[in-house]
Every structure is written in structure tokens, then in C-alpha cells.
Chains A and B, each alone.
Chain A
Amino acid sequence: MPNTLFDKIWDAHIVRSIEGLDVVYIDRHLIHEVTSPQAFDEIAARNLPLFRPSQILATADHNVPTLHQDRPIQEPLSRLQVEKLTENCQKYGIELYGLGHPRQGIVHIIGPELGLTQPGITIVCGDSHTSTHGAFGAVAFGIGTSQVAQVMASQCLLLNRPQRMRISVEGDLRPGVTAKDLILYVISQLGTGGATGYFVEYAGSAVRALSMEGRMTVCNMSIEMGARGGLIAPDATTLAYVEGRPFAPKGEAWNDAVAYWQTLHSDDDATFEAEYTYQAADIMPMITYGTNPGMGIPLTGHVPSEVPASEAESFDKSLKYMGFERGESLLGKQIDYVFIGSCTNARIEDLRTVAAYVQGKQKADHVEAIIVPGSKQVEQQAIAEGIDKIFAAAGFELREPGCSACLAMNEDKIPAGAYCVATSNRNFEGRQGPGSRTLLASPLVAAITAVQGRIVDITKYLN
């Protein structure tokens, strides 16, 4: 019977089904300091052992500082959370890539770069951007803290099977249009709740042509249209990326794995409950103007003038917060901050994109430009490639790895009223600090904006 990629993986992980619910086996559980302490308490209160601690990996990322990581964390509550994680990992025998560890970094950056993220597996984490790992053809999704405890106790979750959606993007992307623009465009078309209840498979020639980094960016933002997760069938690009990484299968196991992974694709006549197809040529470099990721327009576009009556109150509240008007163009708007980082766009490819543009240029005087690599490995690679010197010469500050100003749980906050072009994933009110105004964009748009100091039509500035 024809089957979708998602169903092939899901079916292979069902321990048993009861009354329409599936007991789904979880291969990898990633944890961090913010959503795990109460789960560990739950396990301790019930006097339960961890069922498979070797399948859990921990990192500290959400509220770690990005300066002086060799010193104790200054902020007492942040320090306490990271200490709790360390204590719990020691107590339960969980591998921890904490501060100072050469493998530390944002949970969704280190999984792929270490080869822990592989096709055909199930991955969960108490973080909605777990959808990132779907780029490898894994079923990966975010969970709440009660579910973190459930996986700790049983390596399983009790779940309803989501519906299936396929989003195809066909053709070639225009110059200056990247994976980030592709997904911002899709979300702007479907809306921030447009894929609620679905697991999304991305397909089409434009998706196939993306690098693994680009595919991760696309899958990362699946949650921003409400999808439970997103995934892309593994192919030669996937295999080339995974092979040789520390946790990738080796030797005979690699051959077995590849044979299995090659079966992981939606069958030709598989059916999806929803299907959308877009043309790559319709996608322009994007930016968001509002306070949810669905409020995106081409850089050269205009803020909508009309919205349905039921949305008007939320829409106008959003524009008031951002200081924009209906129907307005954003071109020429002065920007105060540029943040290049987050699990969406803090991989080495993103840093290379920025470096390639800013080499020999200077950021605008009034712009503060911060680059936060996604992991120690990305940071080290940037230094090895001399990218750090390009950033320094252009006036960009390269920090140490963590989630940073994506959600501002550490010291890296954007002041109230200030405009920040960010490569992260959310432009919610106050996301980068109370009163901060976030405009989501690609690393290339962020780099050009930092140099120009204002929002421009980047196609006129491409090298």
C-alpha cells in the first residue's frame, strides 16, 4: 500500500496502539536546562529510574552567557538552572555537553553536527524547534515537560497520529533568495496556524537543491505555521552530510543504515490530507513586519492594507507594537541591531554567507551587530577559516555559542523600542527583550542590513 515518508517512520516506531493512540518509541531524547528540571523532579518524586539514559543527551544553551563562558554564570537563576542540569545528569548518568565542553552548543545545532541526527529515527526535545532534525528524514518534534518525564521513564510517548501535509516548492530560487526566504514565504502564505494538526513533508526541486543547512532552516520553522514537525526525504545530500560524523554508523553498520535510509521516501501514489505547491521564482528576499512569523513580506513589498475583520484587532495591535502602519513600505527604515544566531541560522554555512558579504566592508556606525555561533564547533570552524577576522574588521562582534538574543533568557537583550533584524525564528512581542522589535530575515539580508544600516532591496547590493 502506498505510504508517506512520515507514516513509514511512525509505523516503524509503534510499540502498540490503544484506542486510537500509539505508544511511540523515541530513539533520541535531547534535553537542556530550561524544560528538564521539573521533569527530573517528577521522576524523583515517583522514585522511578531512567529507562534508557544512554539515549538522552544534554546540553546547556538557552540561558548561557555569550561572553566569558570560562567564568561562573553571573545571573543567579540562570546559574541555578545550569547547575541543576549538571547535578541531574551526574545523578542519572546522562552525557552532558555543558559549558566549557568542546561539543556544547544549541541543542538543534549539535545533534546534526555530531551525527546523532539520522534518517528514520524519532527525536524529541522539550523545545518546539526540535522540528529542525526533520531535515534528515527523521520524525522529530517538540514536547512539554510532562512528556520529557514520560520519555525519561519509558523512552516512549502516547500520541495521536498527526495528519499529513506536503508542501512542494518547484524550480530554482532567484539570486539572493535562500532557504530562510523560502520558509518565511511559505509561512506567510499559510499563516501562523495554517499547518496546525499536521506533520509536513517538504518536497519539490527547490527543496531538493538545498544544502543540509538550508533544509534544517526550513524544517526548523515548521512549528511557526503550527505544524507538529517537518521532514525531508533523505538523499545523497543527507548521506554526504552524515557520513563520518562522530555518532554516524561506521563500516558494515553504515552500509546497513544506507540500505534502510534509501527506503525512506513517500511512495509515488501516497496521499496527503493537504497539499500545497509553490513556485520558487515567486519567492523574493523576505522580511517580517509584525509580531508573528506569518507576517512576512518581500523586502520590496508593503504591509497589508486590509485584513479580515476577525483579525483586525490582533493585526493593529501588532502594527502598533512594531511602530508600522497599514500599507507602508519598510524600505529605508533605520535598524538598530542585527542578530545573527539561533537554531534557525547559526550554522557554519550561515556565518560563511555573512562573512562573504561583509568582507572588506563596514557595518553602519549606528548598528550593533552580534553574531552568536550555534555551537563550539561552529565557533572553532569560523576561527579556523579566518571568518572571525573578517567579522572583527567589519565591526561585527563574534560571541560564544548559545540561544542568546533569540529568546533573551541570557544578558543578550534588545532594548525596548529598538529595531533588530534577526536570523532567528520568532518575532513575538518582547521575544528579544521587553519592548524589542524583531524583523526576521535571512543571514544574507541581515548582513546587508547591518552594512547599510537600514532596510534595503538587497538584490541591488549582491556582490
Chain B
Amino acid sequence: MEKFQTLRTTGVPLPLENVDTDQIIPARFLKATTREGFGENLFRDWRTNADGSPKADFVLNNPRYAGEILVAGKNFGCGSSREHAAWALYDAGFRAVISSCFADIFRGNALNTGLLPLQVSDEVLARLLAAIETDPQLELIVDLPSQTLAVPAWGETFSFAIDAYKKECLINGYDDIDFLVNQKPAIEAFEKQRAWTW
């Protein structure tokens, strides 16, 4: 996993609520057996017509918008547990997603992928979406060590919550496997004393 420290970039607005993982990456693209290449099919059915041509009205096809942060509506990532959704966003160049609510499994998958799920209030989200649509060059600065999202044009900085351990993992590029493997003596001891062995 790549290290995540700070991010100075612009945002791509997707002002829809309940964006589910079947939209982020449709099931028919889950057949790959490696982690690579999922970005090509990110939002495939919103992004392209049946003949593969781009849909002009979808934000990822709009040259006005670029940047490494997807700014999405409430309840982002609901539905399937497919980690491929986080892989697809990361593979397409996104390093953070801002929303006012993330589905639990998606949040975990994103953190395990090195993609920061950054939760803000409904009010801040609405302001961000409106501001980016007006000014696609609006600069956003995410600083993970201080857990802040700065919008310099507004002269405002918002703090966000993240689990302390997961923050360390992202900053250092660690994942849970090494940690858990190192717990083996405790796990084996636990197995010996647990009540249910049937």
C-alpha cells in the first residue's frame, strides 16, 4: 500500500446519493483475478454508452473536472463488499473520496486500498459540491497527519475523524496482515481456552 500524507488537488463532483458498488464497478468486471486494471471500468455504465462511446453528460467525461478527490453524495459505496470498487477508484487516480456518509464495508475496503474516505457534514458537503461545480479549479488540501481538509479559497479548514491505527497505517503504508500475523501467540492461546469446540 502506498503512503498517504498530504494531498493538494481539485475535486470531481458526483452529487448523487446512495452510489452503490455495482455502479462504481459493475459485477461483470469482477472476473479479473489480479488487482490491476479496474480503473478502466470505473462507473462503466454511467461513463459509456452500450457501444463503448463516452456519455458526454457524465462528470468523468467532462474536461472541466480533474483531480484526485471524488466528492460524492451521502451513503457512498453501499451494496456489495467487493473491494474492486475501491481498487477501481484508486486505479483511476483517485486518492480520496469525500462524502457525508460512507457504507461501512466500503470505508474499510478504501482504507485497506490506500484510498482515504473523508467524512464531512451534510452542510459542508453541499457547499463543496456547489463550489466545485462553479469553480472546477477550487483547490482542496487534505492533510492526514493533522486530520484536516482545507479549502484555501474559503479561508476555512475542517477537521475529520479517522481511527488512530488506520491513520498510522495510511501514513506509513502498512496493512493489517503483518500486525495480525504477529499476534499468533495470543491467537493460539485464545484457541486453547475458547468454550466452543464442537
Contact = CB atoms under 8 A, between A and B. Distances in A.
B81 A126 contact: yes
B83 A19 contact: no
B18 A154 contact: no
Contacts of A25: 187, 190-191, 194
Given A38-B34, A434-B50, A193 B103 contact: yes
Given A12-B194, A196-B103, A430-B45, A153 B186 contact: no
B198 interface: yes
A267 B166 CA distance: 33
Contacts of B154: none
A127 interface: yes
A128 B196 contact: no
A127 B86 CA distance: 15
B101 to A, nearest CB: 6
Contact of B101 (A38, A77, A196, A435): A196
Contact of A311 (B17, B31, B81, B82): B17
Given A23-B183, A310-B126, A408-B28, A434 B45 contact: yes
A409 B101 contact: no
A223 B105 CA distance: 10
A128 B105 contact: yes
A78 B33 CA distance: 10
Contacts of A317: 16
Given A38-B35, A42-B177, A23 B105 contact: no
Most chain A C-beta atoms within 10 Å of own C-beta, residue among B15, B84, B104, B105? B104
Interface string B34-58: 1100000000010000100000000
Given A12-B194, A146-B175, A19 B165 contact: yes
B196 A257 contact: yes
B133 interface: no
B81 A196 contact: no
B186 A16 contact: yes
Interface stretch (A156-164, A280-288, A325-333, A386-394): A156-164
A416 to B, nearest CB: 7
Contacts of A408: 27-28
Interface in B43-77: 45, 50, 73-75
B83 A15 contact: no
Interface residues of A, number: 80
Contacts of A239: none
Most chain A C-beta atoms within 10 Å of own C-beta, residue among B18, B23, B103, B179? B18
Interface in A50-65: 51, 62-63
Chain B, interface residues (CB within 8 Å), range: 35 or more
Contacts of A41: 33-35
A314 interface: yes
Nearest to B190: A15
A51 B177 CA distance: 12
Contact of A196 (B45, B84, B104): B104
Contacts of B83: 35, 38, 126, 144-146
Given A15-B183, A23-B180, A228-B104, A128 B22 contact: no
B27 A431 contact: yes
B20 interface: yes
Nearest to B76: A193
Nearest to B166: A21
A292 B194 CA distance: 41
Nearest to A428: B22
B26 A434 contact: yes
Given A197-B104, A428-B23, A431-B27, A144 B183 contact: no
Contacts of B17: 310-311, 314
A121 interface: yes
Given A80-B31, A310-B17, A154 B195 contact: no
A429 B187 contact: no
Given A144-B105, A147-B112, A192-B75, A78 B198 contact: no
A88 to B, nearest CB: 10
B173 interface: no
Given A150-B176, A430-B45, A20 B163 contact: yes
Contacts of B10: none
A429 B23 contact: yes
Contacts of B92: none
Nearest to A197: B104
10 closest A-B pairs by beta carbon, nearest first, are: A249-B198, A193-B75, A144-B83, A77-B31, A146-B112, A154-B180, A144-B109, A142-B81, A37-B33, A253-B198
24 contacts: A12-B195, A15-B183, A21-B165, A35-B82, A38-B83, A120-B196, A127-B80, A144-B81, A144-B109, A145-B84, A150-B177, A153-B181, A154-B181, A157-B176, A157-B180, A158-B176, A193-B74, A294-B18, A313-B15, A314-B17, A428-B79, A430-B22, A434-B45, A435-B50
Given A192-B18, A193-B18, 18 more contacts: A19-B164, A120-B196, A127-B80, A127-B81, A128-B79, A144-B81, A144-B105, A146-B175, A154-B184, A154-B187, A158-B176, A223-B79, A256-B198, A257-B196, A313-B15, A314-B17, A314-B73, A317-B16
